[in-house]
Amino acid sequence: MKVKNLLLVICAIFIEFLRDYCFININLYIEYLENLGNGFEVFNHTDSLMLLILGNFKLKTLIIIKWILSLVFCIAFFELGILFSKFNFDLESHKKFLKPYTLGGLILLLTSLIIYLTGKFLTIENEFNFYFVSLEISHLVQSSLYPISFILIFWSYNLRISSS
């Protein structure tokens, strides 16, 4: 295994961990603030480091931070896929990879956004259902699963074509 590939894998694992750590703790803090605002006696389960960072933010700001982090993690994993392609494919294959890879990611994000916005026009129960479907689609692009699966599909497709 090339050292560059190993570093990309280690970087992907670290970013996955960081993403989970951030979102789990932001969600815990949001839940704490919502329950506190509703008059419940609750305990804050947010990690102390994240509480230090998030402690002064209001609920609306935390939601904006989640949206921004979602975009940051999408871009990070998208870039990891591009780097992997650049390191492992020849220039022609790399260029062929970029267009469908970019288009596929944008289609998934747009689909997620459309499903999310569609849910806003429905009853509260259906809104949550649409939200969770939208969330799972966006999670795909915000994780190493998107570049890994796309690279494997692209590689196997090109391998099949070259062997025919």
- pLDDT, one tens digit per residue, over 104-161 is 999 999 999 999 999 999 888 888 899 999 999 999 999 999 999 988 888 888 777 6
Close Cβ partners of 33 (under 8 Å, ≥ 6 residues apart): 58, 59, 62
Question: pLDDT tens digits for 52-105?
Answer: 998 889 999 999 999 999 999 999 999 999 999 999 888 998 999 999 999 999
Residues 76, 7: Cα–Cα separation, whole Å: 14
pLDDT at 164: 63
Q: Compute and round to an integer the Cα radius of gyration of the chain.
A: 19
> How many domains are there within the chain?
1
Tokens, residue 66: 């989640």
DSSP 150: H
Range of the domain at 52: 3-163
- DSSP three-state, residue 62: helix
Residue type, 54: L
Residues 47, 143: Cα–Cα separation, whole Å: 22
